[in-house]
């Protein structure tokens, strides 16, 4: 592992993507993680499974810096740029799908904006999303999930955290989304929490992790 661990949520140099060392995380009286250690190798897909309530979301939130560990260290490589999808869509309800997907980019000068809009339109069509002027509050649940996924994969991020991204989508839509998303995430570090073992097949050479009884381990 490259880099030097400094403190919880610290950034380190070298080839480290994301890692935990001896992490403990409690919510009140509920101990979620206890002495959890893991090194998520960069530029690989990591599929994270485990029973409901075992701590998969908590693990992703710790790695993203959205939660702090009660003990131990969470480490991120200095060059890590994070993107994330949450179990909830977390969209701006009054904006269109395209405006939501473009959000992480902020201001883009004309030439870049034009290129991005073309890329975005192609992505939406590939995933079966209508390109129109409706605010996302008028979209279906499955359409909203796809907007959240595209916002994540089209962001300028090299490390992507997905929390049950395909939940609630029908099989045909999942196939279309993954046919588009698979190649896009192949060159990045991916952490993918799911309850569905079939999703392993979407990745080449994935590392399978299990979160259970406070620990994070490879299977
Ligand atoms: N903000 C919070 N406040 C209190 N307890 C929480 C909070 N977030 C999570 N928990 C508790 O922490 C435990 C782990 O929750 P978490 O959402 O990480 O599990 P999970 O493995 O992602 O579950 P699922 O597969 O059902 O999404 C659960 O017991 C949950 O009730």
State the angle between helix axes of 141-153 and 110-126 in degrees (0 to 180), rounded to the nearest 10. Answer: 140
Question: pLDDT tens for residues 112-168?
Answer: 999 999 999 999 999 999 999 999 999 999 999 999 999 999 999 999 999 999 998
Q: Is 165 in the pocket of ligand 1 (CB under 6 A)?
A: no
Distance, CA 145 to ligand 1 centroid (Å)? 21
Q: How far apart are CA 25 and CA 23, in angstroms?
A: 7
Quote the number of domains for the chain. 1
Assigned domain for 3 exists: no
Q: How far apart are CA 186 and CA 146, in angstroms?
A: 18
Assigned domain for 35 exists: yes
State the angle between helix axes of 171-185 and 141-153 in degrees (0 to 180), rounded to the nearest 10. Answer: 10
The residue whose CB lies within 8 Å of the most ligand 1 atoms, and thus the one to mutate among 52, 54, 166, 195, is: 54
- Yes or no: say if 132 and 159 are a contact pair by the CB < 8 Å rule: no
Assigned domain for 171 exists: yes
Q: Which two tokens stand for residue 185?
A: 């995430």
Assigned domain for 1 exists: no
Assigned domain for 130 exists: yes
Assigned domain for 5 exists: no
Assigned domain for 173 exists: yes
Q: How far apart are CA 155 and CA 43, in angstroms?
A: 16
CATH number, residue 160: 3.40.50.300
Local confidence pLDDT in tens for the 219 residues of the chain: 333 333 444 555 456 689 999 999 999 999 999 999 999 999 999 999 999 999 999 999 999 999 999 999 999 999 999 999 999 999 999 999 999 999 999 899 999 999 999 999 999 999 999 999 999 999 999 999 999 999 999 999 999 999 999 998 999 999 999 999 999 999 899 999 999 999 999 999 999 999 999 999 998
3-state class of 7 per DSSP? coil
Assigned domain for 4 exists: no
Please give the residue range of the domain that contains residue 133: 10-196+203-218
Distance, CA 111 to ligand 1 centroid (Å)? 43
For the whole model, what pTM was predicted?
Answer: 0.92
């Amino acid at each position: 592992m490259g880099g030097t661990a400094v403190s919880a949520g610290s950034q380190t140099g070298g080839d480290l993507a994301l890692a935990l060392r001896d992490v403990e995380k409690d919510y009140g009286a509920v101990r979620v993680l206890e002495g959890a250690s893991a090194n998520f190798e960069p530029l690989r897909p990591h599929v994270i499974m485990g029973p409901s309530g075992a701590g998969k979301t908590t693990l992703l939130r710790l790695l993203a810096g959205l939660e702090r560990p009660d003990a131990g260290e969470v480490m991120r490589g200095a060059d890590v740029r994070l993107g994330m999808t949450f179990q909830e869509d977390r969209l701006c309800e009054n904006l269109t799908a395209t405006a939501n997907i473009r959000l992480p980019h902020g201001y883009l000068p004309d030439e870049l904006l034009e290129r991005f809009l073309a890329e975005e339109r192609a992505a939406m069509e590939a995933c079966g999303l209508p390109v129109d002027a409706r605010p996302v509050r008028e979209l279906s649940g499955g359409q909203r999930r796809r907007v959240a996924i595209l916002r994540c994969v089209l962001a300028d991020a090299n490390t992507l955290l997905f929390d049950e991204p395909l939940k609630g989508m029908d099989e045909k839509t999942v196939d279309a989304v993954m046919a588009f998303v698979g190649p896009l995430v192949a060159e990045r570090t991916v952490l993918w929490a799911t309850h569905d073992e079939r999703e392993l097949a979407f990745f080449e050479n994935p590392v399978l992790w299990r979160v259970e009884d406070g620990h994070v381990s490879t299977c």
